[in-house]
A and B are shown apart, each in its own frame.
Chain A
Amino acid sequence: MTLLQVFFLVTAAVMLVGSWLVVTSRRLVHAGLWLILVMAGVAAMLVILEASFLAVVEVLVYIGAISILIIFAVMLTRRVMDDSGPQSTPMWWVAGLVSLLLLGGLLAVFARMPSLLVSSAELPADQATLLSDLGRSLVDANRFVLPFELASILLLAAMVGAIFIARPEAGVEGGEDK
């Protein structure tokens, strides 16, 4: 077992424990912090996969923006569920059954596909060429410019929509104080 494999297994174990705590921990702020740990684990996995740009973007966008947004939302809506009462629905065992069945099905499919046993593939060129190719492909009219522009329009629309929805109603000062 190589050092890289040991690193992978340790990171994977940390990620799975973190994911479990994200979905089960009673305090949502703690769940948000565990989510940050899981995202850091995903970034480490992307480093192992030699997708350096995506690893940095994962840290910037997920850890830097999305998880902070989530923790902010948890704090803004804190008083309601304030860690009292059950945090999961009475039907949680059905949810567990569904997800276990899905996991079992996926693993069974993996076990039947010998093509998934590949353990290495050479990167064609050095990382810098690969990265500049990625950048060019996003603005190349023959490749991915359309999905890229659609994603930017989607982001713009989501931003405008988020501001419009979350805006306090006209004439109400400090709208969230009921």
Chain B
Amino acid sequence: MIPLWWFLALAAAMFCLGIYGVLSRRNAIGILMGIELMLNAVILNLVAFWRYLNPSVVSGQVFAIIVLAVAASEAAVGLALIISVYRRRGTVVAEEIDLLKW
């Protein structure tokens, strides 16, 4: 069978690619895509730990479901904010949304 650390290494690589996307993208929607990648990596991690370390307790799967709900609400609110900002200021570039910056 597959060793646990294979899954962990895959999830870690996905998480780091997500961080790279969050930090380097200029488009706010691209930043959100990076966040989705990171949340997917977290789900993979949680389920892998559940399966290999304690498969008789369902808490790993429950936490993965909670992460899913958080991801869904985060995507909805984040995209609504981006569309609202786009309407008012005509831009989705993160560095041009600088009203609160000084």
| Chain A interface residues toward B at CB < 8 A | 2, 4-5, 8, 12, 15-16, 19-20, 22-23, 28, 31-32, 35, 38-39, 42, 45-46, 48-51, 53-54, 57-58, 61-62, 65-67, 69-70, 72-74, 76-77, 80-81, 86-89, 91-92, 94-96, 98-100, 102-103, 106-107, 110, 116-124, 130, 133-134, 137-138, 144, 147-148, 151-152, 154-155, 157-159, 161-163, 165-166, 168, 175-176, 178
Contacts and interface: CB of A to CB of B under 8 A. Distances in A.
Interface string B19-49: 1111111110110111011001001100110
Contacts of A72: 79
B24 A70 contact: no
A45 B10 contact: yes
B40 A39 contact: yes
In the complex, the 7 A-B pairs of residues with the closest C-beta atoms, listed nearest first:
A158-B73, A23-B21, A95-B23, A162-B80, A166-B80, A151-B69, A95-B24
Given A88-B25, A98-B19, 5 more contacts: A22-B33, A38-B40, A51-B64, A110-B8, A144-B62
Nearest to A49: B51
A86 B93 CA distance: 11
Contacts of B48: 49
21 contacts: A8-B2, A22-B34, A23-B24, A28-B29, A54-B43, A66-B36, A69-B79, A81-B27, A89-B25, A95-B23, A99-B23, A100-B16, A110-B5, A116-B8, A121-B52, A124-B56, A144-B59, A151-B66, A155-B69, A158-B76, A166-B79
Contacts of A5: 2
B20 A87 contact: no
A66 B72 contact: yes
Contacts of B62: 134, 137-138, 144, 147-148
Contact of B12 (A106, A154, A159): A106
Given A19-B17, A54-B65, A89-B26, A118 B4 contact: yes
Contacts of A66: 36, 71-72, 75
Nearest to B31: A23
B33 A70 contact: yes
Interface of B: 1-10, 12-27, 29-30, 32-34, 36-37, 40, 43-44, 47-48, 50-53, 55-56, 58-59, 61-62, 64-66, 68-77, 79-84, 86-87, 90-93, 95
B84 A77 contact: no
B6 A8 contact: yes
